[in-house]
Amino acid sequence: MAEFDVDLFVIGGGSGGVRAARIAAGHGAKVMIAEEYRMGGTCVIRGCVPKKLFVMGSHVHQEIEDAAGFGWTIPAPSFDWPTLVANKDKEIARLEAIYTSNVEKSGAEVVKTRAVIEDPHTLRLLDGKTVTARTILIATGGAPNHGAMIPGIEHVISSNEAFHLKALPKRIVIQGGGYIALEFAGIFAGFGSDVTVIYRGDNILRGFDEDVRTHVRTEMEKRGITILTGSTVTRVDKHGNDYTSHLSNGSSIASDQVMFAIGRHPNVANLGLENAGVAINPRNGGIAVDAWSKTSVPNIYAIGDVTHRVNLTPVAIREGHAFADTVFGKRPVQVDYATIPTAVFSQPEVGTVGLTETEARAEFSHVDVYKATFRPIKATMSGRDTRILMKLLVDGLTDRVLGCHIVGDAAAEIIQAVAIAVKMKATKADFDATVALHPTAAEELVTMRTPSARHVREAAAE
């Protein structure tokens, strides 16, 4: 009789958990994966994928407006929000079925239920059944965090509910200044909503390069989005179908919807972590793990957003794969968290990899900055008032490219390719030696020859 029912029990059927289950099963492990909601997790069901579909849909009206400059006469368009939501739901259902099928094809067993840890090797399912496992992997992700319990917080929606609104709001207030807040601001504005963004800091996109932050804000405001910084929502009143958001600066804003996107917290509640002695990281509230994703309990691991390390879907997938290779593939793999590319699907789009200028100047004594802003060729025909930002940060002593930041159409697509060069420690000379592909916006990355600024730390200059 086997010592345990399964070799690996995965809690959470999101991108990271699914990858870990499939790879472990491929290594010959007997695997069971439990998901209480829908297979695919945050990214597929209520995150990256439906968000990107909404972003693409919201671009259409601008494309129609721009068409006139290219000779097209298009009748006034009409938009139907319920059709968008219904078609999005069909696509998400298709992807969920694929996720489930791929896991099952790998040989792992999927159970659509909640699983709670009873001890380091035992889990109890919602139907009361218990399963014993040699190894447990927690991949339960994160959830929207509304912050302080202000009066009227029950009237506020998160990005989860935004995907299922019955109607497009004519006016919406969005609190937050990061990825999700700005992406939904662009989505709703693109579909015709009046959008106001409220953010407590002095500028949006905290942690990004300062030029990126300024450029994105300028471009968003050009598109009619109101951005109010240095304030927060302190109370939300409901009047029939309308809401009034009261701000810390004493003003108030009327809207049809109020959405908070101020951050996410790890899904650690009610998992039974305390039954097994799994420790929480006091600095971020996520499950504490080492470089191998191992928790304080030797046979229990955690990956993805529940650890609150780098909350990006591709990172969770990489962590899940590394875990499975290490524990079941006899091939120890640690995830390299340096130089991870990321994108914000705001409007305009942001793509970035490597260090910001502030980080580069703090770490390196000599930093050369190459920066260009210009009208894209499309805007010269459409007449749209918009500009692209391209920025490279270079170590002035070794010539290595330390960071690249792009704001504009296709920024994410461009940065994925640039990230390979940055990861390989390419130099500015390597960029310069690359023949430009013309006419493209990306050619600017290999044609910027003169630094816009050179920074030398005083101590280094002496």
Residues taking part in catalysis: 438
**Euclidean distance between CA atoms 18 and 10, whole angstroms:** 8
- Residue at 252: amino acid letter: S
374: how many CB neighbours lie within 10 A of its CB?
13
DSSP reduced 3-state for 429? helix
> ∠343-217-145 over CA atoms, to 5°?
60
Token couple for 383: 């007449």
What letters, b where the CB count within 10 A reaches 16 and e where it falls short, cover 441-450?
A: bbebbbebee
> Can the peptide bond before residue 120 be classed as cis, meaning omega within 30 degrees of 0?
no
DSSP state of 239: E
The secondary structure of 274-338 as a DSSP string is HHHTPPB-TTTSSBP--TTSB-SSTTEEE-GGGGTSS--HHHHHHHHHHHHHHHHSS-------S
Token pair 């990061």 is found at: 178
Could you give the dihedral angle defined by the CA atoms of residues 296, 297, 301 and 302, in that order, rounded to the nearest 10 degrees?
-50
For 120-136, give one letter per residue: b (16+ CB within 10 A) or e.
bbbbbbeeeeebbbbbb
